């Protein structure tokens, strides 16, 4: 191995003791972890380095998810200007690993020699700054509804050797071809329906709809999907619609080898859409059972649900609008589905959920939305208690209407068991677990979110578990580890709450001005805040912030008042929020700032009203 510490990799000059690469036209800075990755690939360029080896070596003694390696590889490619499809620097061998394929030449240097061997990698790992990526353990086995985490480090290479490992499948958005573009929702609905049926398989881990729908407009190659989603199998297809006839083509792809395993074309009357999606799901389960000997077909119910085609069409429209963010159109379409079929349990449940979502930021109308949502939830339950979303909205009814935490927990658990790969179910479940102080389970759930939805998940779930538990040092580290994947405003706000909870004046003085800047405050106001904090103390500075940032919610204002010692103002705001039945107040007992109100009669009374005492 050469003693030089400077190398020409392709046409880029790489100095191993720097965090940058350069050529005659450009100079590019690299993150420390990206440089460590480059060094390891450089040291081992004669062979393919597996994902597991890279994770073990570069994130030694850390619990991380596969997506941190995806991000590092992607950033290194971008730095080199490498093309994934026609690589000149880093070659990806699906399910095997990565190899540096660019020509490498040592460049003589007058500077002190540094041995390019495994020792430099170890030293860099030990001394370079804290990594900037969000870390989680790779997988929570979806077959275990009790949220007990388990390692899945060998899944990328030995999926057929370990019968306990879930088979990973991504259902890509089905393409839509029709002269009637307004019915595009049928293809999206078919994609989601197949996902929802396949998630019933305990040994099958299906990537969430939220992640896969990002490929609807952005078409990428199968190897790229494998790298980004870490899956073994891919289902893709198309929907062709003309008049009342539908033609659906589906094909199952072995993602490891990028080879087609099965394909089928279904030509039916449009009223047969439910039958098609059920048949496709059953066929996929059967094929995977044949291929991997892991899938049990018994859980797939191939009997079509007897829902009128017109009602189902309205339901698909509603979900299409929901994901587009058009809440009003979604609610109208859900109601239309109910009008066309009054026994449509899932339509009632999804409409109920929409009202619960509105109540989250509903202000004075929060209570009204909760009441409406609860009525719809109970109706859906009376019709059919089996769907996951029916159990979800019943859980929300118990939680936010009745303050019945035990019943809510049972319903959340049932929703999780019936669909533990729907991000919305997981989001609400994590909120319940926080309220009931089950912080370990929140962290496990956060890891699970990353596993089933690498491209889209709540990036502060794990932070919130640490923050509410009171582990502020770990919470700070959590923010630092995912600084690259959350917004600057969100990042600085989390640092501010942490600094208030720890009483770290220096941290508050550093991060608060950055947060205020990201919040749009003028530099004059920021300077005034800084002066108040420096010369008059935290209480004056926080009161100034409350007055100058009208965008703060009343709940956040109450927290700031509590931190500033304005107990009476804090309790008055909280009393108003409890009267409005604001959803946020159920965290009253775990919020660090409100623990300062513990001796106040008004605060104790609020806890009693919410059954939190």
Other beta carbons less than 10 A from residue 417's beta carbon: 15
Q: Indicate the pLDDT class of residue 597, thresholds 50, 70 and 90.
A: very high
Which residue pairs from 585-588 have beta carbons closer than 8 angstroms and sit at least 24 positions apart in sequence? Answer: 585/555, 585/610, 586/399, 586/400, 586/403, 586/435, 586/610, 586/612, 587/434, 587/435, 587/468, 588/612
**CB burial class (10 A; 0-12, 13-18, 19+) of residue 53?**
middle
Quote the pLDDT of residue 134: 34
Quote the pLDDT of residue 66: 56
Q: Are strands 259-269 and 104-106 parallel, antiparallel or unpaired?
A: unpaired
Return the structure tokens found at 585. 């107040």
Quote the pLDDT of residue 67: 61
The residue with greater pLDDT, 146 or 549, is: 549
Torsion angle (degrees, nearest 10) of CA 498, 503, 504, 509: 90
- Give the pLDDT mean for 591-595: 96
Distances (CA, A) of 558 to 343, 540, 577, 593: 44, 15, 10, 9
User: In angstroms, rounded to a whole number, what is the distance separating the alpha carbons of residues 147 and 440?
Assistant: 10
In three-state secondary structure terms, 343 is coil
Q: Indicate the pLDDT class of residue 139, thresholds 50, 70 and 90.
A: very low
Percentage of the residues of the chain whose pLDDT score is greater than 90:
45
- Give the pLDDT mean for 231-254: 87
Quote the pLDDT of residue 386: 93
Percentage of the residues of the chain whose pLDDT score is greater than 70:
85
Q: Is the pLDDT of residue 458 over 80?
A: yes
User: What confidence tens digit (pLDDT) does each residue in 354-371 have?
Assistant: 999 999 877 789 999 999
Facing residues of 98 across strands? 49, 92
User: In angstroms, rounded to a whole number, what is the distance separating the alpha carbons of residues 328 and 186?
Assistant: 19
List the domains of the chain with CATH numbers.
6-127 (1.10.10.10), 167-305 (3.40.50.10610)
- Give the pLDDT mean for 533-546: 93
- Give the pLDDT mean for 257-277: 82
Q: Is the pLDDT of residue 573 over 80?
A: yes
User: In angstroms, rounded to a whole number, what is the distance separating the alpha carbons of residues 338 and 593?
Assistant: 44
Torsion angle (degrees, nearest 10) of CA 141, 252, 300, 428: 50
Q: Indicate the pLDDT class of residue 300, thresholds 50, 70 and 90.
A: very low
Facing residues of 13 across strands? 8, 22
User: In angstroms, rounded to a whole number, what is the distance separating the alpha carbons of residues 115 and 448?
Assistant: 40
Quote the pLDDT of residue 421: 86
Q: Are strands 204-206 and 167-171 parallel, antiparallel or unpaired?
A: parallel
Give me the DSSP letters along 61-113: T----HHHHHHHHHHHHHHHT--SSS-SSEEEETTTEEEE-S-EEE---SSPP
- Give the pLDDT mean for 91-120: 67
Q: Is the pLDDT of residue 118 over 80?
A: no
User: In angstroms, rounded to a whole number, what is the distance separating the alpha carbons of residues 72 and 69?
Assistant: 5
Quote the pLDDT of residue 156: 34
- Give the pLDDT mean for 540-562: 90
Q: State which of 27-36, 52-61, 286-295, 571-580 shows the largest mean pLDDT.
A: 571-580
User: In angstroms, rounded to a whole number, what is the distance separating the alpha carbons of residues 459 and 478?
Assistant: 10
Quote the pLDDT of residue 108: 63
User: In angstroms, rounded to a whole number, what is the distance separating the alpha carbons of residues 444 and 323?
Assistant: 26
Q: Indicate the pLDDT class of residue 307, thresholds 50, 70 and 90.
A: confident
Q: Is the pLDDT of residue 116 over 50?
A: no
Quote the pLDDT of residue 474: 94
Orientation angle between helical segments 388-400 and 423-435, nearest 10 degrees: 30
Q: Indicate the pLDDT class of residue 214, thresholds 50, 70 and 90.
A: confident
Which range (31-45, 114-128, 240-254, 401-415) has the least confidence? 114-128
Return the structure tokens found at 204. 């099958």
The DSSP code for 13 is: E
Quote the pLDDT of residue 14: 87
Q: Read off the pTM.
A: 0.72
Q: Are strands 167-171 and 233-242 parallel, antiparallel or unpaired?
A: parallel
User: What confidence tens digit (pLDDT) does each residue in 420-436 have?
Assistant: 989 999 999 999 999 99
Quote the pLDDT of residue 529: 94
The residue with greater pLDDT, 109 or 394, is: 394
**Helices and strands (H, E) in the chain, number of each type:** 25, 13
Which range (192-206, 218-232, 278-292, 476-490) has the least confidence? 278-292
Smallest Cα–Cα separation from 489: which of 458, 526, 515? 515
End-to-end CA, the chain: 66
Quote the pLDDT of residue 64: 56
Q: Is the pLDDT of residue 106 over 90?
A: no
Compute the mean pLDDT over every residue in the chain, rounded to the nearest whole number: 83
Smallest Cα–Cα separation from 567: which of 606, 600, 604, 545? 600
């Amino acid at each position: 191995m050469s003693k030089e510490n400077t190398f020409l990799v392709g046409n880029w000059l790489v100095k191993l003791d720097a965090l940058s690469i350069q050529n005659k036209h450009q100079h590019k800075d690299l993150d420390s972890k990206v440089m460590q990755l480059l060094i390891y690939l450089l040291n081992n360029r004669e062979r393919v380095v597996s994902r597991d080896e890279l994770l073990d070596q570069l994130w030694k003694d850390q619990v991380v998810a596969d997506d941190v390696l995806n991000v590092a590889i992607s950033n290194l490619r971008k730095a080199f200007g490498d093309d994934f499809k026609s690589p000149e620097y880093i070659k990806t061998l699906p399910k095997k690993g990565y190899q540096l394929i660019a020509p490498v030449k040592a460049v003589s240097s007058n500077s002190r020699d540094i041995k390019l061997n495994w020792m430099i990698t170890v030293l860099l790992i030990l001394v370079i700054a804290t990594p900037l990526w969000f870390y989680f353990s790779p997988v929570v086995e979806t077959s275990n509804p009790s949220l007990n985490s388990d390692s899945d480090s060998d899944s990328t290479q030995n999926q057929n050797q370990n019968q306990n490992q879930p088979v990973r499948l991504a259902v890509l958005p089905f393409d839509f071809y029709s002269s009637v573009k307004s019915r595009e929702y049928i293809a999206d609905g078919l994609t989601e329906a197949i996902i929802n049926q396949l998630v019933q398989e305990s040994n099958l881990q299906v990537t969430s709809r939220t992640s896969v729908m990002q490929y609807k407009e952005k078409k990428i190659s199968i190897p790229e999907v494998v790298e980004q989603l870490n899956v073994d199998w891919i289902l893709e297809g198309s929907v062709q619609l003309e008049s009342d006839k539908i033609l659906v083509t589906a094909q199952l792809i072995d993602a490891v080898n990028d080879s087609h395993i099965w394909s089928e074309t279904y030509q039916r009357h449009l009223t047969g859409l439910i039958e098609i999606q059920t048949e496709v799901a059953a066929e996929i389960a059967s094929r995977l059972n044949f291929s991997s000997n892991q899938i049990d077909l018994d859980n797939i119910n191939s009997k079509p649900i007897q829902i009128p085609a017109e009602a189902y069409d309205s339901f698909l429209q509603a979900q299409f609008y929901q994901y587009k963010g058009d809440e009003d159109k979604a609610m109208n379409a859900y109601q239309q589905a109910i009008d066309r079929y009054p026994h449509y349990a899932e339509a009632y449940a999804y409409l109920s959920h929409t009202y619960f979502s509105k109540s989250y930021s509903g202000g004075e109308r929060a209570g009204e939305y909760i009441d409406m949502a609860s009525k719809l939830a109970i109706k859906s339950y009376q019709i059919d208690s089996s769907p996951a979303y029916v159990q979800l909205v019943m859980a929300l009814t118990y939680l936010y209407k009745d303050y019945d935490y035990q019943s809510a927990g049972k319903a959340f658990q049932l929703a999780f068991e019936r669909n533990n790969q729907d991000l919305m179910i997981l989001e609400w479940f994590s909120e319940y677990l926080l309220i009931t102080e089950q912080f370990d389970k929140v962290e496990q759930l956060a890891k699970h979110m990353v596993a089933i939805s690498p491209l889209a998940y709540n990036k502060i779930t794990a932070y919130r578990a640490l923050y509410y538990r009171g582990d502020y040092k770990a919470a700070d580290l959590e923010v630092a580890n995912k600084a690259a994947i959350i917004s600057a405003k969100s990042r600085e706000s989390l640092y501010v709450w942490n600094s208030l909870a720890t009483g770290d004046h220096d941290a508050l003085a550093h991060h608060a001005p950055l947060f205020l800047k990201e919040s749009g405050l003028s530099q004059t106001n920021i300077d005034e805040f800084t002066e108040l904090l420096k010369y008059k103390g935290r209480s004056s500075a926080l009161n100034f912030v409350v007055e100058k940032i009208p965008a703060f919610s009343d709940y956040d204002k109450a927290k700031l008042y509590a931190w500033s010692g304005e107990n009476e103002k804090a309790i008055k705001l909280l009393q108003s929020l409890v009267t409005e039945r604001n959803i946020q107040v159920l965290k009253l007992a775990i919020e660090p700032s409100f623990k300062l109100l513990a001796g106040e009669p008004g605060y104790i009374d609020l806890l009693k009203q919410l059954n939190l005492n």
